[in-house]
Amino acid sequence: MLRSMTGFGRAAGVLGRQTLEVEVKSVNHRHCEVKLGFPRNFAAFELPATAAVREKIERGRIDVYARLSRNPETAPALRVDRGIAAAIVAEARKLSESLELPEDLSLLSVMQFPGVLVFEDEALDPEEVWRDLRAVLDRALDQLIVSKLAEGAALAAELGRRVARLRELAGVIESHREAVIVEYRDKLAERIRQLSDNAALDENRIATEAAFFADRCDITEEVVRFRTHLARFEELLAGGGKKGRYESVGRALDFVVQELLREANTMASKSSSMQIIAPALEMKGEIEKIREQVQNVE
């Protein structure tokens, strides 16, 4: 199935006594660019996290954010700094004596001084941290891919409709190809007849001119190549996941679109009949719309 380059995924898990949340979002980009927004103590995991993203996503700008928050269901690890508490009490007593004021410190007031109560960070093994981080990251990436596939399915359906219209237009052009040559031959004969005051026509000369016109305006090869490119486009639309792992087809689709546009331009430029120019111009309009949509394909 086709993948869009835009999507979003989120997952959460437990890391020790904290909750780890990972968000991943992706937007259009010519290459695979990974940007990480990790807590400072996760700096050692940035390289393997980037590699993990690239294993699953081949194209686009991918922003990954990881946040740690204290788990409300888990009691925080607290430590009382008795040295600071004792120093506060001692200095309070000295101040009380020197100013001849009553000493009214309570246990609660001492504990409220900065530095007396310390929240201790949990000591975790780096391998365990990476294992849990990787698990949450993988789930977030899986959600991202689900989002990209949903948008890709809608994109593929729209592209399929436009390709079907291009095939119809190619048929219209092909059906008029011979009629245009016959029309030119008849107009040429009528013009010569008028210029020669209805004298006898040189059928051989007319046939020669008509053959020259047919050769100059022949678009058979262009139509054949156009149909071949359409078949390749449809093959790429359907072939993103044939081998089990998604293969990026965005660049290949973009190349085929350029070839389709080249053939449509040639068909329009080689003909002088609106029976061919009109559908060729409509072709170009459809191809331009396809090119815009292909920019969002991974």
Q: Per-residue pLDDT tens for 28-76?
A: 998 999 999 999 889 999 999 999 999 999 999 999 999 988 766 665 6
Task: Give the structural domain span for 136.
Answer: 7-74+125-146
**192 and 66, same domain (yes or no):** no
> Residue 35 in contact with residue 65, Cβ under 8 Å?
no
Q: What is the CATH number of the domain that holds 55?
A: 3.30.230
Please list the residues that pair with 60 across neighbouring strands: 32
Predicted pLDDT at 52: 97
CA atoms within 13 A on the CB side of 295: 8
What Rg value do the Cα atoms of the chain yield, rounded? Answer: 37
**14 and 131, same domain (yes or no):** yes
pLDDT at 84 over 60: yes
Q: Per-residue pLDDT tens for 205-234?
A: 656 665 555 556 678 888 999 999 999 999
Predicted pLDDT at 27: 95
Q: Is 29 strand, coil or helix?
A: coil
**15 and 50, same domain (yes or no):** yes
In a domain, 1, yes or no: no
CB under 8 Å to 276, separation ≥6 — which residues?
173, 176, 177, 180, 219, 267, 268
Question: pTM of the predicted model, to two decimals?
Answer: 0.70
**273 and 177, same domain (yes or no):** yes
Predicted pLDDT at 101: 81
**129 and 216, same domain (yes or no):** no
Q: Give the whole-number percent of the chain exceeding pLDDT 90.
A: 52
More confident residue, 241 or 115: 115
Predicted pLDDT at 186: 59
In a domain, 102, yes or no: yes
Output the 3-class SS for 236-268.
HHHCCCCCCCCCCCHHHHHHHHHHHHHHHHHHH
Q: Per-residue pLDDT tens for 243-281?
A: 556 778 999 999 999 999 999 999 888 777 788 889 999
In the chain, the number of structural domains is: 3
- Cα 290 from Cα 298, distance rounded (Å): 15
For 62, the enclosing helix (H) or strand (E) is: strand 60-70
Please state which of the ranges 134-143, 157-166, 198-207 shows the lowest mean pLDDT. Answer: 198-207
